Amino acid sequence: MPLHRSTPRTHKHPTTAPAAPASPPEFLLNNELPRDHFPASGGQPHAIHQAIAEELLLDGNSKQNLATFCQTWEAPEVHQLMDLAIDKNLIDKDEYPQTAEIESRCVRMLADLWHAPGEALGCSTVGSSEAAMLGGMAAKWRWRERQRAAGKPTDRPNMVCGSVQICWHKFAKYWDIELREVGMRPGSLCMAAADVRERVDENTIFVVPTMGVTYHGLYEDVAGIAAALDDYEAKTGIDIPIHVDAASGGFLAPFTAPDGEPWDFRLPRVKSINASGHKFGLAPLGVGWVMWRTPADLPDDLVFHVSYLGGDMPTFQINFSRPAGQVISQYYDFVRLGREGYAAIHGQAHAVAQACAAELASHDCFRIVHDGDPAKGIPAVVWTMVDGASPGFTLYDLADRLRMRGWQVPAYPFTGQLAGQAFQRILVRRDFNLEMADLLMRDLRTAVEHFAAHPAAPDASQTHGYSHT
């Protein structure tokens, strides 16, 4: 969560409520809303509700937010289920046994979706970041047990990954892991098998390929990386597991590229997978999932046992109390949509992305990096400027111009050798249809025409407009 600072107290606020004034009209707000002190007394609920609701109008329109991976539309039935669960604490398995059963059903469905070979183990989380950290903790504990059994030191663990979002940097810092991140370079946007072989050793707790890299949306080659680690083990005897960060791809590839290269538990080296339910799982914010190939892949030392209906309920999580509605709604989505429904929704998203990519490619100044091909990545379009192009604007200028029409289309740098180059991305979700895509492309064409007539002034200080945090 973001950190916020309070302001110093500049005057003394009353500690007792003043005498009750005459009741104001129901929708009249006599004073501004408190911003830096706790109010001494309350006010009219309708007036306060209206004031806060009007403040929220200053936020962007979520449907035009093409930066976020998170869902911005939910069916009316989901809203009703969320209302039914607003007072349910998911951690309280004894008080809400049916909700616990629904969570268990979701885990079993995901084990089936991701081809677990036998009895798998999994749980829900607040989001994919917590799920990733749980998978990472299990990997570190397994590695530490192996090192101790061999009489080797346990003070220098490392992990190998491609260009990852902030959650893996947090994991490495919080749990004292050396992060061996493969930066991007021209012609190589994803971590490859050769990159992995150069970086692994006996202190590598796991390798983390990503199914849908946040920066460009492409899938990394999990099967190729697994084969490289198989070869490494054959030569050295060192068994290095894979954890797949499938925050996006875990709810896409099974439906939109089911015949593609295996990336999940079909590969024996894959020991755990995390995914985000509130992204392409189509559930409300915030729910994630983590799954282990077998119960043995989650060290029992990390598991806490709570009483559940007179029995034992093993739990593993960072957060404790949390709402149940998202998990219940996730189950609704699974049952309501099934494989065919998810394939139809995500297939349409890919089609919209590819239509946008075709329009963008018609501009001579743009080079498409990812066109939304479901075999290669998530439903997104990512582009950059053609080398040497001088269209009278930068992608940061274009992002600002589109924001004038309400569109949030981020421009940002990549990593590694591409950290000085700007890229831009459209992330297509279920509620971004062809009609909205056409409106966006019209606004984009208008913006390009504007800059052709009124070139933007160069600004050397402008290096980024969006951060993947």
How do residues 380-418 score in pLDDT, each as one tens digit? 999 999 998 889 999 999 999 999 999 999 999 999 999
- Given a cut of 50, whether residue 135 has pLDDT beyond it is yes
The pairing of strands 178-181 and 311-315 is: unpaired
pLDDT of residue 365: 96
Q: Count Cβ atoms below 10 Å from residue 336 Cβ, excluding itself.
A: 13
What pTM value is reported for the model?
Answer: 0.89
- Token pair, residue 213, equals 């890299």
pLDDT of residue 163: 93
Report the distance separating Cα 402 and Cα 384, nearest Å: 16
- Token pair, residue 16, equals 């007792």
Confidence tier at 303 by pLDDT (50, 70, 90): confident
Domain boundaries in the chain?
Answer: 79-333, 349-450
Alpha helices in 201-282 (DSSP H): 222-236, 253-256
Q: Please give the CATH architecture assigned to the domain spanning 349-450.
A: Alpha-Beta Complex (3.90)
Identify the residue whose tokens are 């099967």: 223
3-state secondary structure (DSSP) of residue 377: strand
- Token pair, residue 93, equals 């398995």
Report the distance separating Cα 362 and Cα 273, nearest Å: 38
Beta carbons of 362 and 272 less than 8 angstroms apart: no
Task: Classify residue 282 by its DSSP letter.
Answer: -
Query: How far is C-alpha 134 from the chain's CA centre?
Result: 15
Beta carbons of 54 and 47 less than 8 angstroms apart: no
Q: Which residues contact 98 (CB under 8 A, 6 or more apart)?
A: none
3-state secondary structure (DSSP) of residue 179: strand
pLDDT for 90-133, tens place per residue? 887 778 889 999 999 999 999 999 999 999 999 999 999 999 99
Identify the residue whose tokens are 């008080």: 95
- Token pair, residue 232, equals 């490494």
Q: Which residue has the higher pLDDT, 352 or 28?
A: 352
- Token pair, residue 389, equals 């192009």
- Given a cut of 70, whether residue 224 has pLDDT beyond it is yes
Label each residue of 394-418 as H, E or C.
CHHHHHHHHHCCCCECCEEECCHHH
pLDDT of residue 5: 66
97 Rama class: left (phi>0) / alpha (psi -120 to 50) / beta: alpha
pLDDT for 46-86, tens place per residue? 888 888 898 998 888 888 988 888 988 899 999 999 999 99
Q: Does domain 79-333 match CATH 3.40.640.10?
A: yes
**Side chain identity, residue 271:** K
pLDDT of residue 432: 94
Query: How far is C-alpha 334 from the chain's CA centre?
Result: 19
pLDDT of residue 315: 73
pLDDT of residue 12: 56
Query: How far is C-alpha 318 from the chain's CA centre?
Result: 17
pLDDT of residue 94: 75
pLDDT of residue 469: 47
* Long-range contacts of the stretch 309-313 (C-beta < 8 A, 24+): 309/93, 309/94, 309/97, 313/93, 313/100
Share of the chain residues as helix, strand and coil, in percent rounded to the nearest 5:
40, 15, 45
Q: Count Cβ atoms below 10 Å from residue 262 Cβ, excluding itself.
A: 13
Return the sign of the alpha-carbon dihedral for residues 282, 284, 286, 292.
Answer: negative
**Side chain identity, residue 86:** I
272 Rama class: left (phi>0) / alpha (psi -120 to 50) / beta: beta
The string over 441-457, giving b where at least 16 C-beta atoms fall within 10 Å of a residue's C-beta and e elsewhere, is bebbeebbebbeeeebe
